[in-house]
Amino acid sequence: MPRLSLALCVLAVAAAAQSADSPSPIRVESARITIAHQVDVPALETGIIGSLSVKEGDVIEEGQLLGVLDDVDAKLALTRAEVEAAIAEETAKSDVSIRAAQNGNETAKAELARALEAIEKFKKAISQTEIDRLKLAVDQTTLAIEQARVTQRTAELQATLKNRDIAIAKRKVERHQVRSRVTGRVLEINKQAGEWVEPGKPVIRIARLDRLRCTGFVSAAALASDPTGQSVTIKVAINETKTVTLQGKVVFVASDVSVKNDIEVWAEFDNRDRVIRPGMNAEMTIHPVEKLATTK
């Protein structure tokens, strides 16, 4: 056999062996885009819904204000906290008590000094009792300075606490707001303006649009192993001229086989631009896990 023909045979055998060892991608032609996650937005406080700013079918952004509970009392509490904090800060900034105590101390020291000077000149000019009283006045005014400083530090701490009360009151007002934590579409409104709600009770249901699911059925014979976690390529025809290709991962494989001998498979993908919509038809390709080459 010519050497060229022999080489071609070797290559063909090697390719066939490699093809047998490497699993092929699995194509799912009749796939469909569906909603992956639904989120119930709850009330965070007890009260009456004052207003709702969305309706079913609206597309909303993460953090968007959806409605407000009656928050009159919460806002009044916030105003009170702000006034109390302002008073506490003014008290903390004032050093009048310290300066008054210092002035009193200086006066007491001066009186004591004059008395001692008088005794040096005339020993019986001032009694010992009066000297003791003047020394006590110096000690008392010295302690008064320390007490005034302690009072000011306490006032500073009180001002800090009052500012924390403002933060708590603001948080209370915010908790009367119903905000979306996801980007999506309003599916259902469970409560209307004027209705009573309690913490944790759902007010609005939202379907996420920034992350969707592609579902399809794969022949049971084609699944030699569980493809959960494997990467997928999803192609969606937006219109007759535009096709979008996205990457995702298999997140679910049904445990049972249908009457048609196939298995349902789900893959999820990011849809941050929201070009893809639930209900669109798609084609999905499940990519095999590449096996590492081994040497003997």
Distances from the Cα of 146 to the Cα of 100, 142, 143, 155, angstroms: 12, 7, 5, 14
Largest pairwise CA distance in the chain:
143
pLDDT in tens, 187-245: 999 999 999 999 999 999 999 998 999 999 999 888 888 899 999 999 999 888 899 99
Q: Is 90 exceeded by the pLDDT of residue 111? A: yes
Q: What does the pLDDT read at residue 274?
A: 85
Q: Give residue 123's pLDDT band: very low, low, confident or very high (50, 70, 90).
A: confident
User: In this structure, are residues 81 and 165 in contact, taking their beta carbons and an 8 Å threshold?
Assistant: yes
pLDDT for 158: 95
pLDDT of 4: 41
Give yes or no for residue 293 having a pLDDT over 90: no
Whether the CB-CB separation of 230 and 288 falls below 8 Å is answered with yes
Model confidence at 290: pLDDT above 80: no
**DSSP codes, the chain:** --HHHHHHHHHHHHHHHHHHHSPPPEEEEEEEEEE--EEEEE-SS-EEEEEE---TT-EE-TT-EEEEE--HHHHHHHHHHHHHHHHHHHHHH--HHHHHHHHHHHHHHHHHHHHHHHHHH-TTSS-HHHHHHHHHHHHHHHHHHHHHHHHHHHHHHHHHHHHHHHHHHHHHHHTTEEE-SS-EEEEEE---TT-EE-TT-EEEEEEESSEEEEEEEEEGGG-SS--TT-EEEEEEE-SSS-EEEEEEEEEEE-SS--TTSEEEEEEEEE-TT--S-TT-EEEEEEPPPPPPP---
Q: What's the average model confidence in pLDDT over 64-85? A: 96
pLDDT of the residue at 17: 43
Q: How far apart are CA 160 and CA 187, in angstroms?
A: 44
pLDDT in tens, 131-182: 899 999 999 999 999 999 999 999 999 999 999 999 999 999 999 999 999 9
- Percent pLDDT > 90 in the chain is 74
Task: Locate 229 and state its tokens.
Answer: 């976690």
> Against a cut of 0.75, is the pTM above it?
no
Give me the DSSP letters along 17-34.
HHHHHSPPPEEEEEEEEE
Q: How confident is the model at residue 6 (pLDDT cuts 50, 70, 90)?
A: very low
Average per-residue pLDDT for the chain: 88
Helix 128-174 vs helix 72-93: angle between axes, to the nearest 10 degrees? 150
* Dihedral Cα 213, 216, 221, 223, nearest 10 deg: -10
